[in-house]
Chain A
């Protein structure tokens, strides 16, 4: 079974508008971490935001926020005021507490295109 599901292969958003990228996850661990990474066409993976399973507040980092709904096992990324430079692939990932070393399990990614 897929551990991380990103159901939107591609998304379009108008510059300056907000966009939500969906992510659902599956784990039986009580302790886990959820991450979002951005991968521009240049290929590097850029860390955006982290949410711990025990964190009660939704994580925010500048224009990025994570809408964490634990009961629904969803961890959607919200990008406010989209910019042209936000065009990239976005990956949701999870680290499960029982995994020694905490390897990342990635979703298939969502390609975001920001239109001027």
Chain B
């Protein structure tokens, strides 16, 4: 079956612009996660969705970052007024549930470059 997909695969933007990153999880997966991978910070958790609600937003670095999920499926991560330090690979993952034993399946990521 289809895995987790993300779009775009690459995004180059200018400082100060807004960007939207999209994630399509595996069908039937109720849990969805966003992570960020950057050279200086490694892999960091951003936000977790269970269905359409986000019980854990603790990793969002500032109020410029927001995310939503609709229909228990597609999720969009929005970064407003992008800064150069937002440059990173943004990874989305999904799992059957939010239990500690549920494996997370990752998408290919969106590489964001802020000039």
Residues in chain A within 8 A of chain B (CB atoms) = 31-33, 35, 37, 42-47, 50, 52, 91, 93, 95-97, 99-109
A100 close to B98 (CB less than 8 A): yes
A102 close to B102 (CB less than 8 A): yes
Answer whether A32 and B55 are a contact pair too, CB < 8 Å, given A47-B105, A106-B42, A108-B42.
no
Given A45-B106, A100-B56, A102-B31, 15 more A-B residue pairs with CB atoms under 8 Å apart are A32-B100, A43-B108, A43-B109, A44-B106, A44-B107, A44-B109, A50-B101, A96-B100, A101-B31, A101-B50, A101-B55, A102-B100, A103-B48, A104-B104, A106-B42
Q: Which residues of A contact B101 (CB under 8 A)?
A: 33, 50, 52
Q: 8 Å CB contacts to A: which residues of B80-104?
A: 89, 91, 93, 98-104
Q: 8 Å CB contacts to A: which residues of B50-78?
A: 50, 55-56, 59
Bin chain B's interface residue count. 20 to 34
Q: Which residues of A contact B91 (CB under 8 A)?
A: 45
Most buried by A among B43, B102, B104: B43
B100 close to A103 (CB less than 8 A): no
A104 close to B45 (CB less than 8 A): yes
- Give the complex CA separation of A37 and B37 in angstroms: 14
The B interface, classified by DSSP as helix, strand, loop or mixed, is strand
Q: Which residues of A contact B59 (CB under 8 A)?
A: 103
Nearest residue, chain B, Cβ from A97: B100
Of the candidates B33, B42, B55, B105, the one whose C-beta lies within 8 Å of that of A100 is B55
CB distance from A10 to the nearest CB of B (A): 15
Please name 23 pairs of A and B residues whose Cβ atoms are closer than 8 Å in the assembled complex, sorted by A.
A32-B100, A35-B104, A42-B108, A44-B106, A44-B108, A45-B106, A47-B103, A50-B101, A50-B103, A52-B100, A97-B100, A101-B31, A101-B48, A101-B56, A102-B31, A102-B102, A103-B45, A103-B48, A104-B43, A104-B45, A106-B43, A107-B42, A109-B42
Q: Which residues of B contact A109 (CB under 8 A)?
A: 42-43
